[in-house]
Amino acid sequence: MRVVAAMSGGVDSAVAAARMLDAGHEVVGVHLALAQSAATLRESARGCCTIEDAGDARRVADRLGIPFYVWDMAERFKQDVVDDFFSEYAAGRTPNPCLRCNEKIKFSALLDKALALGFDAVATGHYAQVVEVADPAAPQGIRRELHRAVDMAKDQSYVLGVLDADQLARAFFPLGDTTKPQIREEARQRGFSIARKPDSHDICFIADGDTRGFLSRRLGAEPGPIVDEHGEVLGQHGGAHGYTVGQRRGLGLKVPPADGSKRYVLSTDTRTNTVVVGPEELLGVDVIHADHVRWCGPPATGELSLGAQIRAHGQEHPATVRIEAGDRIPEGPEATAHPGDGAPTAGTGGGSLTVHLAERVRGVAPGQSVVLYDGTRVVGSGTISKTGRRPR
């Protein structure tokens, strides 16, 4: 099989490429140039796509004896990931750019180009597993499922929850059965100079980690009120887009609470430029509505008991999930969805979900993704449109 190995310049993608080669595939290394003005060096462990990273990837490819190319996808990345990031925050939502990058870049733009050039699949250094199961209805009688990695501390199946069945059929994740310390040791044994290179983290295109400053430089700083749940003004902010649900630090409130309790961001409204704060007990929600639904296999229908994960390394929560075929989102915090007349379309982003969590979860914001699990298997995902609370 002819495989494009996406090589970021880090240790994980390097070992993934090596393992694909060991498995007998014809491998070509590709580094994605995603930054329009790539830095020479990364800042500590933050950021990626530097000239240094491209050089590290090339040295690994040379050691493996495989062809290596740099594909410029900076404009596509800007449009589909960075601009989307800005527009989501401008609308008062909290996006996850890693999911959007996997959906739009690595398993859409990259995969499409690879297929157009005659390759069969793409391999990455994500920590997740692909399991093949017998299914008479699937091509060649085999269906591929996406599962959690063995190393739960590194599991990245959440950020891959946007892949559809066709993309999953052409994806390889060779590291899913291995822990990170084992990967570093394997890299050392293979003679890779990057064996101890630190992992990148946070948002790759915000190298200094200052998300609020990054947003303000693009969206501007417009002062507005910070109010409590009753509407009393407690302070001022420099732009509602710089705050997210569940945030506690950096509020700069001028009026302390009478009982001395901590206050958290409960909601933001970019239309009125208002940030609402309140006590921790008001943060909890147990109803999640989501759209932009994508299935990692056959579309689900009806009502299912599944696990719901809301953050990349967050806890999985028991939930009852109701799936609608249409695009309508139920109104009201207690509203529930009912199955439509037709089935959702696989991988098209159609339909909607209503997720009833068994317990209230705090800090859930519109724009985040909810990824659904059946045991270790990823069922699908949706983008959170709004949240609510069932009466106790």
Dist CA 310 CA 308 (whole Å): 7
Q: Is residue 49 packed enough to be buried (19+ CB in 10 Å), middle (13-18) or exposed (0-12)? A: buried
Phi-psi region of 79 (alpha: psi -120 to 50; beta: other; left: phi over 0): alpha
Active site residue 98: no
Active site residue 296: no
- Structure tokens given for 353: 């979900």
Concatenate the DSSP letters of all residues of 379-392 into one string. EEEEEEEEEE----
Phi-psi region of 209 (alpha: psi -120 to 50; beta: other; left: phi over 0): left
Q: How many CA atoms lie within 13 A of 28 on its CB side?
A: 19
Concatenate the DSSP letters of all residues of 87-156 into one string. HHHHTT----HHHHHIIIIIIIIHHHHHHHTT--EEE---S-EEEEEE-TTSGGGEEEEEE--S-TTT--
Burial 250-276 (b: 16+ CB within 10 A, else e): ebeeeeeeeeeeebbbbbbebeebbbb
Query: What are the residues whose beta carbons fall under 8 Å from the beta carbon of 212, sequence distance 6 or more?
Result: 242, 250
Query: What are the residues whose beta carbons fall under 8 Å from the beta carbon of 248, sequence distance 6 or more?
Result: 262, 263, 264, 265
Dist CA 183 CA 127 (whole Å): 11
3-class secondary structure, 240: helix
Dist CA 146 CA 163 (whole Å): 9
| Residues forming a β-bridge with 355 | 288, 321
CA angle 344, 350, 351 (to 5 degrees): 60
Catalytic residue among 48, 49, 204, 296: 204
Q: What CA dihedral angle connects 99, 181, 153 and 93, to 10 degrees? A: -30
Alpha carbon 123 to its chain's center: 18
- Structure tokens given for 323: 């799936």
Catalytic residue among 49, 98, 101, 296: 101
Q: Which residues are catalytic?
A: 101, 204
